[in-house]
Structure 1
């Protein structure tokens, strides 16, 4: 993994609890303080590749609210690329505080299934997916130009059976194809029904959840990843309980035995937006603490 220089590098899937701050500055940008808190907490927890915290809305509205052709949750015309980047400002702030930041994009299939089509421009979601992918490719280029270490494409819809995966893979590949830096596909949930199609995507690495879907280890055990690393979800991001470092170590050891420490990134299962801030921070500490304990054994 040439974008990180240590074994078992730690990262996040993306979102962090929204901590609003007061004062005059908050009148100009009510969520700037939340961005600053999210970034500071990740750095303080010792995360190697951080995010901007994704605090400006859920994973759908944060992207579609500024895409031409979309009004609210409705597609009202042909979707086009945004006139200005959607997430780059917060990402640049994160880069000013930490050298390694991942840019994060909600995938076109997940966005399409969160929208209503109210225009004759599209006969169905599948046509919408590909236009959304074109628009998101513009955002991916902007994130790359800003200096991110990698771009992650989030497609939680893939594991649900609701999306046409052949079209979804096309959309992800279109975005990945414009990048010179590593691209990552994040899919949460159980991979049992979709793993073969998911693995056909032409991304640099994958990110899956394993702490709350331990069967994903068995599902992937006989699959050819073509040398691509795995982001190994070892923190239960939907559970308000904080894992001990020992618990996280055991989860990571299972991944190491299967994939090899040199082929893993260490992260939570999914975003942590729905947790309390202190819980999210303590979970990140447990994650980085477990990786720190295991790393010396696998460094060469």
Structure 2
């Protein structure tokens, strides 16, 4: 298979901008008050405001709005805004054979809240594409570089109750095979970048050290377009910045993944960027928008965050991005932040060219 690192869609300039994945879903499409209360592991169909027979068309229309907003803001590598999803992970995970989401198990989250999660009751199999139409629709509606995201296998294994496999590692590897099959189809459909969301490697770093890299590499097997592994401290809408640590408990280990890029949240937690030295050789997708800040940051503020990243990462390996969880923001604020970020990237690009 031809390596598409040199795809005509890939941006040619330094400091190409992107989004993590999501963009605000319109109020006419989803109940945003309901959305803000949890990050569902099982399905939350009641979140959608439209009946089933009109939902796909409405999601398509909202996806075009998200794509156009990103293009107008100057984003180089766009996504579909994850408009069709209730959360970053539940849509894919619950579409797999062997997963029972209709009769969920209850687990106690670190916050102490009871969270319903799918039960794994049989062999995990991907019997049909889940996000293929999403990618085809995105490719049809933009000539920009197009990225699509998938939940990572380690994270999915931590968001389910294992009632079938001998241990969590075997479960994670089964999810990895399913993710890989999906990713290969997404690549054929025109994805220029494929991203795995793996926030739970931080939640359980000891377990992650045992097999997360192995599972990630299995999920990315045979993928020749640029790949990303994303991790964060939790959405700003859910986790206040004051409670976020100043460093990741699982980060340098990702140097051993086959992913080309590592995506990190850095603005809201005020991350010590010295940790980026541990990822020499990787491109860094750096969070430079604080989504816990309800105001649109100035171009100068964001430019300084980009410059801080350049102290540790060469310009040809730095991709400015927001922190994660943009879907929870008011759309005008989200757009304004993206526009300020692209202006800041242009300003720094001019300084270093």
Same fold (TM over 0.5): yes
Aligned to 1:231: 285
Q: Secondary structure at the match of 2:175?
A: helix
Q: Is the 8 A contact 1:236 1:268 kept in 2?
A: yes
- Displacement of 1:224 in angstroms is 4.9
CA–CA separation in structure 2 for the residues paired with 1:196 and 1:264? 17
Q: Within the alignment, does 1:5 sit opposite 2:2 as a pair?
A: no
Q: Which runs of 5+ in 1 are unaligned?
A: none
**Is the strand fraction higher in 1 or 2?**
2
Q: In 1, are the aligned partners of 2:254 and 2:262 still within 8 Å (CA)? A: no
Q: Which runs of 5+ in 2 are unaligned?
A: 30-48, 102-117, 234-245
Q: How far apart are the structure 2 equivalents of 1:39 and 1:202? A: 29
The alpha-carbon deviation at position 25 of structure 1 amounts to 10
What is the DSSP-based 3-state SS (H/G/I as helix, E as strand, rest coil) of the residue aligned with 1:75?
strand
Q: CA deviation at 1:257?
A: 2.2
Q: Is this contact kept in 1: 2:254–2:279, CA < 8 A?
A: no
Do 1:192 and 1:216's aligned partners in 2 also have CA atoms closer than 8 Å?
A: no
Q: Matched residues in 2 for 1:271 and 1:26: separation? A: 28
Residue of structure 1 in register with 2:39 after alignment:
none
Instruction: Give the equivalent residue in structure 1 for 2:214.
Output: 170
Kindly tell me: are residues 240 and 82 of structure 1, through their superposed partners in 2, closer, same or farther at Cα, counting changes over 3 Å?
farther
**Alignment partner, residue 161 of structure 1:** 204
The secondary structure found in structure 2 opposite 1:184 is: strand
Counterpart of 2:255 in structure 1 is 199
> Is 1:27 matched with 2:54?
yes
Counterparts in 2 of 1:170 and 1:25: CA distance versus 1, 3 Å: closer
Q: Partner of 2:174 in structure 1?
A: 131
Q: Does the alignment pair 1:179 with 2:223?
A: yes
Q: Compute the displacement of 1:60 (Å).
A: 2.2
Residue 79 (structure 1) aligns with = 124
Report the equivalent of 1:258: 312
Displacement, 1:191? 4.5
Larger mean CA deviation between 68-77 and 146-155 belongs to: 68-77
**What is aligned with 1:271?**
325
Contact 2:276 2:313 in 1 (8 A): no
Q: Decide which of 69, 86, 99 is 1:70's aligned counterpart.
A: 99
Task: Tell me how far apart the structure 2 counterparts of residues 218 and 41 of structure 1 sit (CA, whole Å).
Answer: 33
Q: CA RMSD in A?
A: 2.1
Distance 1:184 1:262 in 2: 16
Per-residue deviation, 1:48: 0.4
Q: How many Å separate the matches in 2 of 1:235 and 1:130? A: 34
Contact 2:299 2:341 in 1 (8 A): yes
Aligned length: 294
In the TM superposition, residue 195 of structure 1 has moved relative to its aligned partner by: 2.4
Instruction: Give me the whole-angstrom Cα distance separating, in 1, the residues matched to 2:148 and 2:275.
Output: 28
How far apart are residue 125 of structure 1 and its match?
2.2
Instruction: Indicate if the aligned counterparts of 1:69 and 1:80 stay in contact, CA closer than 8 A.
Output: yes
Range moving further from structure 2, 14-23 or 229-238: 14-23
TM value normalised by structure 2:
0.78
* Deviation for aligned residue 1:28: 4.7
SS at match of 2:54: helix
